[in-house]
Amino acid sequence: MYSIKKQIKEELKELAKNIRIQKRIFKSKQREESVTWSDLRDKYRLETDYRHRHIARCLLRGTPYYKIESKVREGNEPDQKLIQKFKEEYQSRLEEVSNEAS
């Protein structure tokens, strides 16, 4: 069970790394004035995915939402359905490992 928690954390770290790479690419394209809609969409998709996965992981660990995101601008609230989807995904992965160990 510990290894799956570590694996989930590593997946989040890898996603954060990809966001940083995408951000550098996006910035360089902005300087060249060659930004396309797909560049913006890809950047937004990665950031949104990370945010919701991070919230889901923290909630599963027992962290209250107000401690995860203390200030959220109006209109920028996270998608609760997406958070629930990721929580269910993580929970099923944790249950699979605990069932295999039994």
Work out the average pLDDT over 56-74: 94
pLDDT one-digit tens code per residue, 30-57: 888 888 888 888 888 999 999 999 999 9
> pLDDT band at 62, cuts 50/70/90?
very high
Cα 99 off chain centre by: 26
* pLDDT for the residue numbered 39: 80
Q: Which domain does 70 fall in, by range? A: 2-101
Identify the weakest region by mean pLDDT among 6-10, 18-22, 94-98: 94-98
How many structural domains are present in the chain?
A: 1
Q: Which two tokens stand for residue 7?
A: 């694996």
CB 60 within 8 A of CB 87: yes
* pLDDT for the residue numbered 1: 53
Residue of 12, 30, 14, 20 lying closest to 90 (CA atoms): 12
- pTM, to two decimals: 0.86
